[in-house]
Structures are given as C-alpha cells and as structure tokens.
Amino acid sequence: MIAHIDMDAFFASCEELRRPELKKKPVVICIYTRNKSSGAVSTCDYQARELGIDSGMALREAKDKATDETVFLEADHDFYRRKSEELLAILSSFTSKIQKTSIDEAYFRLGGDEVEKAKKIKARVESLGLTASIGIAPNKFLAKLASGDDKPDGLKKVGKDSKKDFLSEKDIIDLHGVGSKTEKKLEEAGIETVEDLREVNNTILAQKFGREKAASLKRKAIGKGSRKLESGEQKQISKIKTMERNSRSHRYIMKEIKQLAGELDKRIKSKQKAFRKITIIGIDTELNQYTRSTKIDTAESKKELINHSDRLIRRLIEEENASLRRIGLRVSDLVDRNTQMTLQKF
Ligand code: TTP
Ligand code: MG
C-alpha cells in the first residue's frame, strides 16, 4: 500500500510549537509584499479557518474577518524547513521508499499492518509537537485523497474493496487533474458526479476531451493511479548553450538568455515547480567559468526569470571583463507549485 502524509496547518502549527501561548488563539501566517498591511495569507490554524480565513486570501480580507485576539505572523520558511526535515527523518525510520512532494507532504510505501504503522508515525509526529493526517490506499492518487478526508489529525485507509464507495462520495473537482475548466466541460456533457464519469461511454468522453485526457479521467473515476515513488526530489533545473558568437554585449547575451528562459520555463512548468534561486553561468573563450546568483521570494514565471537574469548579466559584465562563449541559466531551491502561493493574484 501507499501512504500519503500531510501535516496539519503546517506553518501555523510550527509557530504554535515554539510559542505554545498561541495555541489558544487563531494564528495567521502571512507573506507580506511591501509592509505589514499588504500581502496574503500563507496558511492559518484551524481556529482562524473557522473565522473564514484561508490560504491565498488577501491580508486585507483576512484582517476584516479576524477577531481581536487573532495573531498575524510573518512566514519563517527556514524554521519550517527544519521541521520538515525532522518529519522526513521520522518517515525514514519506517521505510526507505519515500517521495517527498512538498515542505509538508510525502508519499511512502507501507507494508504489514499499515494502520498500526501509521498510528506509530502519527505518535512520533506528535512527539515533535505537531500533528499530521495520513491516507493509506493502493495508489498515490487515492492515498492523497484519503489523507485529506479526516483532517486534522486524520487517518484513513481506502482498501481495494472500498475505493469505489470512497470515490463515489467525492465531488468530481476533487479528482486530481480536474480543474474548474474540466469540471465545467464535464458538466456541459451532463457528467456531474464521479459515478457519472465512471459510467460515461469512452468514445463520447474522448470526443469531448481527446483520447489521452479522457483515458486519464476514466482511470481516476475508477480509482486507478500510479504507485511509483520517485525518490530524491529534483534540486535544480538548468540549461546551458554555446552562443552563436562570443560576446560581452548585454543586449546580445540577453537575447540568448531569453531563449534559454523559454526552454527552462517549459521544464519548470511540466514539473510543476517554483523556484527561489536563479543563477546565470558564463563561460569565456578560455573556459573560465563565472556565476552570479540571487535568492528571491518564490517565483514561477518566465518574466521573473528573465528580469532577474537581466540584472545578473549586467552585474557579471560590469564585474568581469570577459568575452562569453557559453551561457547558462539555472533555477534551484525548488518547491512544488501547488503548495506555494502566487502573490501575483493580489
Ligand atoms: P497545505 O498542506 O496545503 O496546508 P496546511 O498544512 O497549512 O493545512 P492543512 O491542514 O489543510 O494541510 O500547505 C502546507 C504549507 O504550505 C502551509 O502550511 C503553508 C504553505 N502554503 C502557502 O504558503 N500558500 C498556500 O496557498 C498554501 C495552500 C500553502
Ligand atoms: Mg498540510
């Protein structure tokens, strides 16, 4: 069986861990843009969720909903990353087959009495002062759905025999890969429930969505999914090329960088990643290598990639008197896109 673990209100729980007096109060973790009055909610504890506050909400709106005792704190990713490593250490003592997918989530293989083992893992997590929810199922897709089922502090097993019933209770939008656009299209075709999707004729579905997407929707509806654990999270994505001519011209080099950024952007998107560090690499005609890099707030767009590279290239040209032959672009400190917030919305 495959298990999926997802920490409960992770960033907020980490803060309550080091400041237990906050446990009694609604806690909201913020990502500020300019000052403490503009930005967005990264996450919040379950008390704050009862007030209607949630991840991704504009800070203004969250403040309107907050009570006097609600505490707003700035996100401290370094601290949360350390806690995330402690979680990984716990999992590693139970199994070596682990796929970490974000700062607070991982899939792992569980054999034997899975529920007993999951209870032990939950107890170990509790000894850190945090709580987690675990889902156990025959594949990753179902395990992830199951871990969200009884949140917080949940434990849910979906066996082979119960997966049909389990899925029937879900909304179609809960199926992985069903966004609001797909949902709308399905609705237009009269497919409103997982049950409808399970029963719809394959040809009709393929006419509407194309064969590949139709097959993937069908697989989800009957609870099929991958069990493959991809261990070792990718640490960086990079691309390097030899320029058509050697150059020390900012304009010329940027033209090449833009092309690299386009290719890198596709790979970053296909892997559903966002990045926190950008590096440019220059190699001159004597094979000397120069790098310049910058750490940034989580970014994912091509535009940000190009803008930061532009500054880095300028710096490199000013500081080194080199004629470059090869040029490269690298993004690192990767995070999963779905669990990080896009501030562009605000
Ligand atoms: P989630 O696991 O989605 O949320 P959570 O752990 O806070 O709450 P839940 O109990 O529902 O699992 O995300 C993990 C962390 O990622 C979260 O604590 C903060 C961060 N995050 C953001 O910064 N922005 C977001 O939009 C989301 C969804 C999460
Ligand atoms: Mg979580």
In 210-301, which ranges are continuous DSSP H helix? 211-221, 250-270
What CATH number is given for 2-7+78-157 in this structure? 3.30.70.270
Measured by CA distance, the residue closest to atom 4 of ligand 1 is 9
- CA separation for the pair 331, 274 (Å, rounded): 9
242 versus 119: the higher-pLDDT residue is: 119
Reported as a single tens digit per residue, the pLDDT across 67-89 is 999 999 999 988 998 999 899 99
Reported as a single tens digit per residue, the pLDDT across 87-145 is 999 998 899 899 998 899 999 999 899 999 999 999 999 999 999 999 999 999 999 99
Q: Check if 293 has its Cβ closer than 6 Å to any atom of ligand 1.
A: no
Reported as a single tens digit per residue, the pLDDT across 21-34 is 999 999 999 998 77
* Prediction pTM value: 0.72
Average pLDDT over residues 150-172: 96
Question: In this structure, are residues 260 and 306 in contact, taking their beta carbons and an 8 Å threshold?
Answer: no
* Atom of ligand 1 minimally distant from the CA of 151: 10
Rounded distance from Cα 198 to ligand 2 centre (Å): 29
Measured by CA distance, the residue closest to atom 26 of ligand 1 is 341
The answer to whether 2-7+78-157 and 10-76 have equal CATH topology is no
The fold of the 236-345 domain, in CATH, is Dna Ligase; domain 1 (3.30.1490)
pLDDT over 70 (residue 344) = no
Q: Check if 53 has its Cβ closer than 6 Å to any atom of ligand 1.
A: no
Q: Which CATH class name applies to 163-221?
A: mainly alpha
Rounded distance from Cα 152 to ligand 2 centre (Å): 9
Phi, psi of 170 (to 5 degrees): -90, 155
> In the annotation, is 105 catalytic?
yes
Helix (H, G, I), strand (E, B) or coil at 105: strand
The fold of the 10-76 domain, in CATH, is MutS, DNA mismatch repair protein, domain I (3.40.1170)
Q: Check if 150 has its Cβ closer than 6 Å to any atom of ligand 1.
A: no
- Please tell me which residue in 16, 74, 86, 105 is annotated as part of the active site: 105
Instruction: List the chain domain ranges.
Output: 2-7+78-157, 10-76, 163-221, 236-345
Concatenate the DSSP letters of all residues of 8-42 into one string.
Answer: TTHHHHHHHHH-GGGGGS-EEEEEESSSTTSEEEE
Of 14, 55, 100, 134, the residue with max ligand 1 atoms within 8 A of its CB, to mutate for a pocket test, comes to 55
Of 43, 130, 340, the residue with max ligand 1 atoms within 8 A of its CB, to mutate for a pocket test, comes to 43
- CA separation for the pair 276, 292 (Å, rounded): 14
Q: How confident is the model at residue 333 (pLDDT cuts 50, 70, 90)?
A: confident
pLDDT over 70 (residue 342) = no
Peptide linkage before 138 cis (omega within 30 of 0): no
Point out which residues pair with 291 in neighbouring strands: 281
- CA separation for the pair 23, 15 (Å, rounded): 9
- CA separation for the pair 16, 10 (Å, rounded): 10
Rounded distance from Cα 45 to ligand 1 centre (Å): 10
